[in-house]
Amino acid sequence: MFKKSMLILALLLIVATGVNAQQGDCDWWDLEEIELSGTTIIDTDCDYCDNPVYYIDVNGDGVSDYHLNFGPYWYEPGNDIVRPQEGDVINVLGGLTECNNGQCESSVIVWELNGEFWRDPFEPGGGHHGGGGHHGHHGDGGYGGHGHHGGGHHGGGGHHGGGHHGGGGWADLEEITVSGVAILDPVYVHHHYYIDVDGDEVPDYRMNFGPHWYEPTNGATRPLDGDAITIVGGLTDCDLDDGCLNMIVVWEINGQTWMEPNSYGWGGHHVQNQGGNVYCPTDPQNSAYFPNGSMGGCGWNQMYVEFLEQDLWDLPDPQTDMFCGFHFTMLGVQHNLDGENLMDDDGCIHFSQSIDLEFHYTDEQLAQYGLSDMSPTREDDLALYRWDADLESWIIVPNIQIDTFANTVTTSSSTIYEKYALEATFEIVGNDVETTDFTSSALFQNSPNPFNPSTQISYQLSHSAHVNLSIYDITGRLIRTLVDGTKGTGSHVTQWDGLTDSGQSSVSGTYFYMLNIDGNQKITRVMTLLK
């Protein structure tokens, strides 16, 4: 009745039980979407399997036509959907695996069962990048990130339809140490790692080791299925009512460092040609939406995409009124491009369709840079710039949309650049220093700017605090400390005469000045010394 052979059953053992497997027997990169209707057949007497193996008979002859891959025996989607029983008539939507060595039976990785979400082809149960379901089902917000907003395999629900936020950012994750047995899920393009801490052979936490190509330089390696391990990492919480698992961002494995504690590690998303959303891990309102087919004709059909906020000093040649920076990383996934930078020499990458970009700024950022008194029409004058690595200059991005209520700047383009920055192109309304409204602390633009030989720097404090105001050069090297002591509530003005701490004259160029308030609030601006 069943199509059995040693090779086929070995494959079924791997996909049905979650046993560690070597990838490469089949080409899993390009899953062909397939929809099947038929009768469920279950093999419970498999000589080589620890758990039932599922098939579907689509032509009613009582013989299996496809193997159905529902994932490891312990997997549940968290939406009350369960595996079918023998003889059940079912409808399955999934990915058909195409084998390249003739040793695999046709197998379908189940994405939907009877119209209900089962799992995502690259993000099981939401997964490592907070992936969404096929029709906008919300993910578990893994890695301290956020669920997809209508992304997923079919991109249903639009750019912000469906989904939910799955927790806070990555900074200051709660440290946790756990010991147990490693459990691997090999269904997907790359293994997903879990740990069973109570010995019931069911995962208790998801382990995030970063992208599959990441390896530390100290020789530490990922565990094999069944390995006894001790993990130290950062705990990210998810809504357990959604059926997800809390995730541990791995910092140490068996006493060896994997990545630095509370580092961002990898904040990227795995994006396929079918489309999807990418969110900044520290602020998910920064997002990029890749429509279905956007990678067609680009030489690849999937990539890792990371979208991060960036400090002003990490921007090349930052301009005076820039107050918010952003950075994209786009890396290859498959074959000889694995982990390689896909950006060209101009610092950009081209797609076959336009990508929707949304950049977010906060009221706190506006206040910190003395922009809180501007009128709505002034805020409409914000500008978005991209860095042209070939020209080594900032180029204004045309046709942007500014939402002053949501504090977002959006644009759409088939070319994505590595670096972007928001700039305040307006003049501040009123006298920003001589004010009695000290509800927020702020650092103001120096005056004059550019300057020679000296300039004044003004700031205000909402409360009495220890203040450090220092000057840095473009490399981040400390040049001069202007203020280092306690200052009271209100306005303050200091002057820089262009000299270093050792009394030497500073050279012409771009400089940063940073206001550090009580060691927990830092505001940075840019100024130019011309001689």
Structure tokens at 116: 């209900």
Whole-number pLDDT of residue 146 = 29
For the structural domain made of 174-257, what CATH number should be given? 2.40.50
Structure tokens at 132: 């969404």
For the structural domain made of 32-117, what CATH number should be given? 2.40.50
Residue 261: asked if its preceding bond is cis (omega within 30°), the reply is: no
Q: Extract long-range pairs of 95-100: CB within 8 Å, 24+ residues apart.
A: 95/31, 95/32, 95/33, 95/34, 95/121, 96/31, 96/32, 96/33, 96/34, 96/66, 97/26, 97/27, 97/28, 97/31, 98/26, 98/27, 98/30, 98/32, 99/25, 99/26, 99/27, 100/26, 100/27
Whole-number pLDDT of residue 315 = 85
- Show Cβ contacts of residue 133 under 8 Å, excluding neighbours closer than 6 positions: 117, 120, 126, 139, 148, 152, 153
Whole-number pLDDT of residue 431 = 37
Beta-bridged to residue 371, according to DSSP, are none
Structure tokens at 149: 């907003």
Whole-number pLDDT of residue 244 = 61
Beta-bridged to residue 422, according to DSSP, are 324, 384
Whole-number pLDDT of residue 289 = 93
Beta-bridged to residue 299, according to DSSP, are none
Whole-number pLDDT of residue 384 = 92
Using only C-alpha atoms, the chain has a radius of gyration, in whole angstroms, of 27
Question: Read out DSSP for 208-244?
Answer: E--STT---TT---PPPTT-EEEEEEEEE---GGGT-
Q: What are phi and psi of 258, to 5 degrees?
A: -105, -50
Element (H, E) at 326: strand 322-332
Task: Determine the longest span between alpha carbons in the chain, in angstroms.
Answer: 92
Start-to-end CA distance of the chain, whole Å, equals: 88
Whole-number pLDDT of residue 438 = 67
Whole-number pLDDT of residue 176 = 93
Measured CA to CA, the distance from residue 31 to residue 377 in angstroms comes to 49
Q: Does the fold of domain 442-529 match that of domain 32-117?
A: no
Whole-number pLDDT of residue 125 = 36
CA proximity to 225, closest of 177, 282, 257, 187: 187
Q: Of 2.60.40.4070, 3.40.190.10, 3.10.20.340, 1.10.260.40, which CATH number belongs to 442-529?
A: 2.60.40.4070
Reduced to 3 states (helix: H, G, I; strand: E, B; else coil), residue 73 is coil
CA proximity to 348, closest of 333, 332, 328, 334: 328
Measured CA to CA, the distance from residue 246 to residue 235 in angstroms comes to 7
How much is the pTM?
A: 0.54
Domain boundaries, the chain: 32-117, 174-257, 274-292+302-424, 442-529
CA proximity to 73, closest of 10, 9, 19, 16: 16
DSSP class of residue 10 equals H
pLDDT in tens, the chain (531 residues): 333 333 333 333 333 333 333 333 344 445 688 999 999 999 887 665 667 889 999 999 999 899 898 888 788 887 889 999 999 999 999 888 765 445 556 889 898 999 998 876 554 333 333 333 333 322 222 332 323 333 332 233 332 333 323 333 444 578 899 999 999 886 655 678 899 999 998 889 988 887 666 788 899 999 998 999 999 998 876 544 445 678 888 999 999 999 877 554 555 677 877 778 888 877 888 999 999 888 865 667 778 888 888 888 788 888 777 888 999 988 876 655 556 788 887 788 889 899 999 999 988 777 766 665 444 445 667 889 999 888 788 888 988 998 988 899 999 999 999 999 998 754 443 334 444 556 778 888 888 988 999 999 988 888 899 999 999 987 778 999 999 999 888 888 899 999 999 999 999 988 989 899 998 888 888 888 998
Q: Which amino acid is at 109?
A: I
